[in-house]
Structure 1
Amino acid sequence: MSQLLRQHIEKITPLTDSEFTYILSHFTPKKYKKHQFLVQEDAPVPNDFFVTKGLLKASYTNLNDGKEHILQFAWEDWWITDYQAYFNETASSLTIDCIEDVEVLCLSLHNREKICAELHKIEHFFRRKSNAGYVALQRRILSLLNSSAEERYHQLLVTYPQLFQRVPKTLIAAYLGVSRETLSRFSK
């Protein structure tokens, strides 16, 4: 569990054993069962979650029509939370739940700020991760604006083929913003 986190951080910055031990002491390991919630809409968001095992989804449910919109999937070696609520210490507008049994390392905002203030390497790491997240978000928005649903489906299939082995097609359809029936036409 902790080795995956170390490898993840060391893709960006090397760590000594004592630095990693110190960093790890700020995380709390937790396990969740399939269908359990890590974050619920309108609730506080105390942690950012680093996934060491399993698969999660972050979604928003439109109150007008009850339709679920999936913003993100996260599996091993990924981070997930409602970042707006986490950083602003407000109630969540998203729900994050387990598609599979999950193991995560939880990092509170307080602990994140503490280790970033104390270790320049970790501040650098989180800045690089945030920058990559901004780029990915911009790509996703531009794809939604400029690509057809079928083009987005094929791009998702090429970029994350393992997702199609682990996620029910109804959830992939919700991520792409199409009906299950429309998704079936794409996969023929």
Structure 2
Amino acid sequence: MSHILRRHIEAITPISDKEFGYVLSHFQTKKLKKHQFLVQEGDDVVNDYFVVSGLLKAYFVNPDDGKEHIMQFAWEDWWITDYQAYFNEATATLTIDCIENVEVLCLSLHNRDKICAELHQMEHFFRRKSNAGYVALQRRILSLLTSSARERYEQMLKSYPSLFQRVPKSYIASYLGVSRETLSRLRTSS
């Protein structure tokens, strides 16, 4: 499991065995079963989670109509949390639950700040990961604002083809912001 995190870090910055051991000592391991919650709306969010195995979804439920809006999927080698709550040390507005059995490495904000202050390359690593996250979020928002449902579907299929084998079609529809019926039409006309 630790080799997955090390490979993930070393894709951005080199790290020695001693440094990696120190970094790893600031994480805790957590295992959850399919359908368990990692974070629930209203929870205090104290950790960011690196996915070692399994698949999760982060979503918001509209209180007016009860409709679920999936914000993010996360699988092996991805990070997930309610970042607004994590960085502001506030309660969650998102819910994160397990689509599959999951193993994650948990990193508190305190420990993240500590390893970033003590190891320049970890500060560099997290800055690069944050920047990539901002870019991805901007692309997602622009896609929702300017692309047709077909274009969003085709882009998702191109970018994450294996995801279509791992999640129910209703989750894909929620992520794309379309109904299941619209998704069915998109799938049959592709």
Equivalent residue, structure 1, for 2:184? 184
How many angstroms does 1:125 deviate by? 0.2
Supply the distance in 1 between the matched residues of 2:29 and 2:97 (Cα, whole angstroms). 16
How many angstroms does 1:5 deviate by? 0.2
Residue-pair matches, total: 188
Supply the distance in 2 between the matched residues of 1:86 and 1:12 (Cα, whole angstroms). 23
Equivalent residue, structure 2, for 1:49? 49
Report SS of the residue matched to 2:14: coil
Equivalent residue, structure 2, for 1:89? 89
Supply the distance in 1 between the matched residues of 2:98 and 2:78 (Cα, whole angstroms). 14
Supply the distance in 1 between the matched residues of 2:24 and 2:11 (Cα, whole angstroms). 16
Equivalent residue, structure 1, for 2:150? 150
Mapping 1:1-188, distance limit 5 Å: 1-188=1-188
Supply the distance in 2 between the matched residues of 1:149 and 1:132 (Cα, whole angstroms). 24
How many angstroms does 1:28 deviate by? 0.2
Supply the distance in 2 between the matched residues of 1:33 and 1:46 (Cα, whole angstroms). 20
User: Unaligned stretches of 5+ in structure 1?
Assistant: none
TM-score (normalizing by structure 2): 0.98
How many angstroms does 1:149 deviate by? 1.0
Supply the distance in 1 between the matched residues of 2:69 and 2:179 (Cα, whole angstroms). 11
Report SS of the residue matched to 1:63: coil
Supply the distance in 1 between the matched residues of 2:71 and 2:2 (Cα, whole angstroms). 27
Paired amino acid for 1:40: Q
Report SS of the residue matched to 2:12: coil
Structure 1 segments, 4+ long, off by >4 Å, are none
Supply the distance in 2 between the matched residues of 1:6 and 1:29 (Cα, whole angstroms). 15
TM-score (normalizing by structure 1): 0.99
Supply the distance in 2 between the matched residues of 1:39 and 1:46 (Cα, whole angstroms). 10
